[in-house]
Structure 1
Amino acid sequence: MKVDLTDAVWRKSTFSGPDGACVEVAFLSEGNVAVRDTKAQRRGPVLAFTSHEWDAFLGEILAGTFKHI
């Protein structure tokens, strides 16, 4: 999926650490969602999800599907 990040408003996760290790999310037009890991680089790679994919991902988190390491 190709997305335009020009006007993206990034929000830092409340679970991010004070040492700069963080994950940021931007809610884009048409319901798409972008995620980036900013501890490496703010201009680094971005993962993009449709609204359906994002909702499924959040549902799996809430269901406890993923293990915290």
Structure 2
Amino acid sequence: MTIGRFGPLTPDQARKQARTILGGAAAGSDPAGELQARRREMTMRSLIDLYEAEGCVGRLRSAIAEIAAS
């Protein structure tokens, strides 16, 4: 799991974030899984924005209805 890039993030800041992430993992959370879920969510949000911008809202609503039904 990447915490950040060297430069904007100092090594001490990275260590502090790493301790927080490892503490959460030790407590039973899944930081990598949560990150993947957020990435998928952003992608779907971008896709919806694209559909709305392209005038495909009718098809989008029917696709969402199909997904919800399954």
Give the structure-1-normalised TM-score: 0.31
Larger radius of gyration: 2
Q: Report which structure shows greater RCO (CA 8 Å, sep ≥6).
A: 1
Larger strand percent? 1
